Structure 1
């Protein structure tokens, strides 16, 4: 019987007919060449896969294939020969992420673990320590808050140190340098926590690194102010051994002062960013001026006057409300 199958066409045209075994042998040869020349590619692909059984299978074959490729010089030669096919630019400017850690102290300091509030990343909060010494400091804004906190903590074994410097400010260092004062305060008192409430006297020109005075309230001025506040916050946190509660300034009645308040508050929030786990910014604006300046706000369903007659400071009622907020935040970090 003549061969009527389609395979007969190979014989009629003088072509070689391959068997299934020949195909298997060819596949094995190709696999061997891939292992020799690019076995490391299979391993790398497996390492980039998400955990799971498929990754385990790829690495089961990829690891030994990569070891073979590493032992031979062919893989590097292939990479060099085919490098011109890569669509990527040669990124060798030194700005890669692997260099960030080496730039500490340079233009781009590294982010550290202190920048993360444990709750923000789902981590367990640190064990609460007992609050023994609390420093309440600032300018006239800190009064009568300091007295309210001292009264609330009396009899609880907490020593409340009150250090209010009237008429001073972070931007007016010609009267008092808060960088120096904060250093002295920490050396003398070693507080477990520091409450900072300052800002009634801000808006003065600040000298930049070139010796030129920068007027309030541009972004340049805000940056200079933030750097001064950051220096103070770093001093008060005592290398992570203390907690700082920096209170923002409630919006003033006067429009010009309100503008300064806004810039100062923004600068303080930026200043605290490297140490979110230790420096807490307590924002008074939503509490006392959610819709702009108001003399009175609703407390327990009743309208209460919370601002002093000058339209800047808190009165006794307002300070009492703020003290409750501060004590509640202290209670999240300490026992007392």
Structure 2
């Protein structure tokens, strides 16, 4: 808008004055009229200058806000707290959490507004502070990340006695074990909340296990964790059904409903997960997180959710057998001449891994030994080499 616009200055007869000045030039010059015209022109100039000086003040106070988003009316609305909750995601736990964390990291990698970090430690748990003190470790991680969403997966290694600060032990078979274990798990939830009072905490349950005694222990551990979450305000994500056949038994394979193929879910040890099994676990977790945390629509996220929907665990004997391959008869496990002295934190699984033997063979040659109640220095027989 110009400085002489009608919106900013009273109208002035400039054109009319010019016409009058032009008409006067064709008449004989008269000093009086010449002086009057000169005075009128000077008055017009002074009036225009005065109007031009007033214009900036009026423009600043009455101009409409610009359309660039910098005006007060265009300020961004306060962020929805539900949207902010999923900004910082922390995934922690044992070796199974490593498989989960890798898949989640693949989904969220490069996603604007989501900052994910993870820390998985093999062979660790709440009952084995000599390997890793998880409350101390999580306190360090939570202080650094202040997570909006914390995903914890611990329990696969916890079918063992719980040791109190005074050195007393509560054995796994003791009815009081569940309460002691739940109290230790609740401590991790509280650590996350101290770092961020609004943090959403999810505890991922342990999937079904191949070894019978470990499978029974997992059910007790999951029950204790689910009960803890119900009172501590965290969300328990059950995974046993996703890795069990229709009869509730451990499933090593699943059938993909989309392709009809039988695919492996678990590795040979009956504990850890294949690539497909890792994706299934992540799909089960994301099925809960995506809706509750309002995660943005991501191609990888939807792929895992669909995979979790389509994979149907099947009994091992339902897999098609290659008729050209004869079934090998089971060999009898014989004890060897060597023995092993139990160390701190040992289980049948860790001993078998360290020595390169089958954990089932180790259990077979030590039939009277409870793998959940090993004592330091206890002597175990080792199986003979096949």
Please give the alpha-carbon distance, in whole angstroms, between the structure 2 residues aligned to 1:162 and 1:209: 28
2:185 corresponds, among 207, 213, 229, to 229
Q: Where do residues 66-81 of structure 1 align in structure 2 (5 Å cutoff)?
A: none
Pick closer, same or farther for the CA change 1:289–1:191 going to 2, 3 Å.
same
Q: Deviations over 1:127-183 (max 9, x none)?
A: 443522211110111122111100101121222212011121111112211111121
Contact kept in structure 1, 2:186 and 2:232, CA below 8 Å: no
* Residue in structure 1 matched with residue 208 of structure 2 by the alignment: 251
Please give the alpha-carbon distance, in whole angstroms, between the structure 1 residues aligned to 2:149 and 2:253: 30
1:150 corresponds, among 93, 105, 127, to 105
Q: Tell me how far 1:185 sits from its aligned partner.
A: 1.2
2:267 corresponds, among 288, 299, 308, to 308
2:163 corresponds, among 207, 222, 234, to 207
Greater relative contact order (Cα 8 A, min sep 6): structure 1 or 2? Answer: 1
* Residue in structure 2 matched with residue 32 of structure 1 by the alignment: none
2:235 corresponds, among 280, 283, 288, to 280
Q: Tell me how far 1:313 sits from its aligned partner.
A: 1.6
Q: Which has the larger radius of gyration?
A: 2
1:321 corresponds, among 280, 286, 289, to 280
Please give the alpha-carbon distance, in whole angstroms, between the structure 1 residues aligned to 2:281 and 2:199: 21
Q: Where do residues 52-67 of structure 1 align in structure 2 (5 Å cutoff)?
A: none
* Residue in structure 2 matched with residue 60 of structure 1 by the alignment: none
Q: Where do residues 1-336 of structure 1 align in structure 2 (5 Å cutoff)?
A: 127-129=82-84, 131-157=86-112, 158-208=114-164, 211-238=167-194, 240-276=197-233, 279-290=234-245, 291-301=248-258, 302=260, 303-332=262-291, 333-336=293-296
Contact kept in structure 1, 2:162 and 2:181, CA below 8 Å: yes
Please give the alpha-carbon distance, in whole angstroms, between the structure 1 residues aligned to 2:207 and 2:286: 18
Q: Point out where structure 1 has 5 or more consecutive residues left out of the alignment.
A: 1-125
Q: Tell me how far 1:207 sits from its aligned partner.
A: 2.6
TM-score w.r.t. length of structure 1? 0.58
Count residues with an aligned counterpart. 210
Q: Which runs of 4+ in 1 moved over 3 A?
A: 208-211, 237-240
Please give the alpha-carbon distance, in whole angstroms, between the structure 2 residues aligned to 1:216 and 1:180: 23
Please give the alpha-carbon distance, in whole angstroms, between the structure 2 residues aligned to 1:169 and 1:334: 30
Pick closer, same or farther for the CA change 1:329–1:240 going to 2, 3 Å.
farther
Q: Point out where structure 2 has 5 or more consecutive residues left out of the alignment.
A: 1-80, 297-386
Q: Tell me how far 1:210 sits from its aligned partner.
A: 6.6
Q: Deviations over 1:180-204 (max 9, x none)?
A: 1121111111111111112232222
Q: Deviations over 1:252-291 (max 9, x none)?
A: 1111111221111111111112243xx1111001111251
Pairwise CA RMSD? 2.1
Secondary structure of the corresponding residue to residue 151 of structure 2: strand
Q: Tell me how far 1:237 sits from its aligned partner.
A: 3.5
TM-score w.r.t. length of structure 2? 0.51
Structure having the larger proportion of residues in helix: 1
Please give the alpha-carbon distance, in whole angstroms, between the structure 2 residues aligned to 1:295 and 1:335: 31
Secondary structure of the corresponding residue to residue 162 of structure 1: strand
Contact kept in structure 2, 1:217 and 1:260, CA below 8 Å: no
Secondary structure of the corresponding residue to residue 176 of structure 2: helix
